[in-house]
Amino acid sequence: MNRNLLIPILNRQHKKEGKEEMKVRLLARDSKQPNIAIMKISTYHKNRGDDVNWYNPLLDQDCDLLYESILFDFTPSYFYYPKCKVVKGGTGYDISLKLCDEIEKINILDYSLYPDCDYSMQFYSRGCNNKCSFCVVPKKEGKIRAVEPMTLNPKGKWIEILDNSFFDNPNWRNAVKDIGNKSVNLLGVRLQTLNEEKVETLNKLKFAKNKKIHIAWDFPKENLKPKLEWLISKISKNKIVCYVLVGYNSSMEEDLYRLRILKELGITPFVMAYNKFDSYQKDITRWANVRAIFNKIDFTDYKPRSEYGGYQKEKEISYYGIND
């Protein structure tokens, strides 16, 4: 059976049993932001007249259908499922699973599930043209393509633009027109493909308070210092955050080299650990992502836990023929 068709089949079966309304419950245990798939599912079932709400294991053992979305493969197991059909999906469960077409095409998100959310979630493109071995996006979504924008949160004060690489979208200029004068937080800009036109566009966009342009320096062997210097000659460094992937085919020296270049240029780093359970990667993440600590001391002087005795000062190295 094509699992993309699972939910329409369940709906038809339910009607055959003489039930007009389904009790549908939702579960998204590891979502820190509003879960777009869950909001689409909610809209779909509410439009059918179903009873839709978050799952409570004490009150909802009689539900007809439970959807669970899992984003991360390290999310702990769950043991309190009801005795009904449970539909599991999300990157943390199986990247090959997709919403059925009837739900996927919905662009009206049910923000009533998140009454305290004061921003909108938006994609102008899905997919990615890069094939980074640590990333599931190309496998899950394919090459980058423009998509129809979703309706905005009525309570939204700004837009979280979730595109993996905003300017790699072939229709990025239309996306900019759609944004207009709305405030944004731009979570994916590929530094390597920026040019004068794109930088001019970034300078014209209105950014929400404390929101930034997010770029990335994932590979230590890629010399991005000249491009970073060019970028901050065009855009205020205070508008930029640079993701730094650590622990993925990189040594401590290579991780620190990138972080020190960013510190030298005045660009805020945001470290992302490849292995969140590794002690070194946890420590360098804590050090770099706390501005007061990062700006005050070097990592070799950082002693997060006495049992590890801190980190020995490594031999100073120079990459790409650039002297520290």
What residues make up the domain containing 93? Answer: 1-109
Residue 94 belongs to some domain of the structure: yes
pLDDT of residue 199: 97
Residue 143 belongs to some domain of the structure: no
Tens digit of pLDDT at every position of the chain (324 positions): 345 534 554 555 555 455 678 999 999 998 889 999 999 999 999 999 999 999 999 999 999 999 999 888 888 888 999 999 999 998 888 888 889 999 999 999 999 999 999 999 999 999 988 888 888 787 888 899 999 999 999 999 999 999 999 999 999 999 999 999 999 999 999 999 999 999 999 999 999 999 999 999 999 999 999 999 999 999 999 999 999 999 999 999 999 999 999 999 999 999 999 998 899 999 999 999 999 999 998 998 887 743 444 555 444 434 333 334
pLDDT of residue 141: 84
pLDDT of residue 12: 52
pLDDT of residue 319: 36
Residue 60 belongs to some domain of the structure: yes
pLDDT of residue 20: 76
pTM greater than 0.75: yes
pLDDT of residue 32: 86
Say how many domains are in the chain: 1
Tokens representing 160 are: 């979280």
Residue 58 belongs to some domain of the structure: yes
Residue 305 belongs to some domain of the structure: no
Sequence length of the chain is 324
Residue 177 belongs to some domain of the structure: no
Residue 277 belongs to some domain of the structure: no
Tens-place pLDDT, residues 117-149: 999 999 999 998 888 888 878 788 889 999 999
